Amino acid sequence: MTTPAQLSFVEIDTDALADLEGRIAVVVADTGKLDQAGRRLNRLMRGALERFVDSEAFAKMKEGEARDLAYPTGLAAEAVQVVKLDRKPDPMDARKAGVAIGKAAGGKAVTILAGPVKSPGEIALGAVLRAYDFTDHKTGDDDARAGATSFTFMVTKPEEARAQAGDVAALAEGVFFTRDLVNEPSNVLTTTEFAARLEALGDLGVTVRVLEEAELEELGMRTLLAVGQGSESPSKVVIMEWMGGGDEQPFALVGKGVVFDTGGISIKPAGGMEDMTMDMGGAGVVAGVMKAIALRKAKANVVALVGLVENMPDGRAQRPGDVVRSMKGDTVEVINTDAEGRLVLCDVMWYAQETYRPTGMVDLATLTGAIIIGLGHDNAGVFSNDDTLCDAFLKSAKAEGEGAWRMPLGDAYDKMLKSTVADMKNVGGRAAGSITAAQFLQRFVKADTPWIHLDIAGVASRKDEGPFSPKGATGWGVLALDRLIRDSFEG
């Protein structure tokens, strides 16, 4: 398990600057004016900091950008990183500055002279998120953790800064939990291991219950069970409850947890199939949100449910042409066994509504390749039956810098799911693939339930760096959903 870098906030001590090891990051306003710590640092560097700040290179830097002055004269530190940031920065610029600091840290302790910035919380969050490095399966000294082990902020009012540290740590823990789950290989993160890691949230006050296959069969979750029937790993549904908001009905999160997806009998091409270790990304985000809200003791009622299965080809695996009956009672003709995520979600969503009568429901899934074709890797697809809930989520996602774009729903797309032998097909053809998938899910949403479907296939994991993450799992959605809960459901 990856532990976030340590954060500390101390009073500015100019006498200690010369002997600081590791790296020093100094925040400089766009005016170029140096504060007390900056002036002391400049004297130790024999004017090198001031020369850089007066240069054209600094003038061309944007808010939140940073440049290194390597091996500075007069200091024990190996580098001074100059960060351009206004005294009252835009939150995303401040987080961007933190990302630059975290990216450059390289395993070194970093001291950040943040004197001009009154609220360094966003800088701290950006730095911690970008310093993440998943090394659980690497060996040897060369594979040591690349991220910084500690960030020490020198600020004018450390007590005020420390007050922000709790929420920063909670969010970072939630994002790291998601990233670790998504980055894990499938031979490690089996359905059983996944459920065990979620059960450990009980130590934080989350009530966790695991439904095994016999109970799922009794409940009628046959579409979910059909997906996993070709695997040696048992299918499970894990329910997590955080009841911090009194007697209010809970808000529901539902996640797709396909720990590996071969496509089943409709088997995927070999090229790139190794990426299907991340097909449990929706469940991973749900888990990260629950960890974050538990750590910060959110005053809200939230219930999270994840369907954990493995989609494998086997003599017992479901076949194209099979007809299965959902918990709701509707029948589904399985045209393509690789369109399995919606079969998992529909049963879990119905159970969530029947059991909890939630005030609203968000499901998350790495559901379709079509959403990647449409939106790439910078935006998740957002589908909703409720403008108020959808607008609130989009506002939260924008505030947290997590890309999200609303997509359409409509009767014309719904008709594409018509089957001649069952109530519906599980796919509607190549055209509008992400939309017909959402239309399938909407059939399992009650009319009085505000609902959002998030297709995160493009944003859950990346081959390049994300805005706040290195290559690999991003943790997209933890920040946005935590803010949605904070702003809309906490009293």
Q: List active site positions.
A: 268, 342
Least Cα distance to 86 among 29, 26, 25, 153 occurs for 29
Pairing of strands 207-211, 236-243: antiparallel
DSSP string, 140-169: SGGGS--S-SEEEEEES-HHHHHHHHHHHH
Helical (H) or strand (E) element with 195 = helix 191-199
Angle at 356 between CA 354 and CA 360, to 5 degrees: 100
AA identity, residue 237: V
Angle separating helix axes 91-105 and 121-130, nearest 10 degrees: 40
Report the SS3 class of residue 424. Answer: strand
Q: Where are the beta strands (DSSP E) in 31-145?
A: 66-70, 79-84, 110-113
CA distances 409 to 417, 427, 433, 434, Å, are: 13, 15, 12, 10
Among 305, 266, 301, smallest CA distance to 285 is for 305
In the numeric block, which tokens belong to residue 106? Answer: 């390289």
* Nearest Cα residue to 84 out of 33, 134, 129, 12: 33
CA gap 207, 405 in Å, rounded: 33
Q: CB-side exposure of 240: number of CA atoms within 13 Å?
A: 31
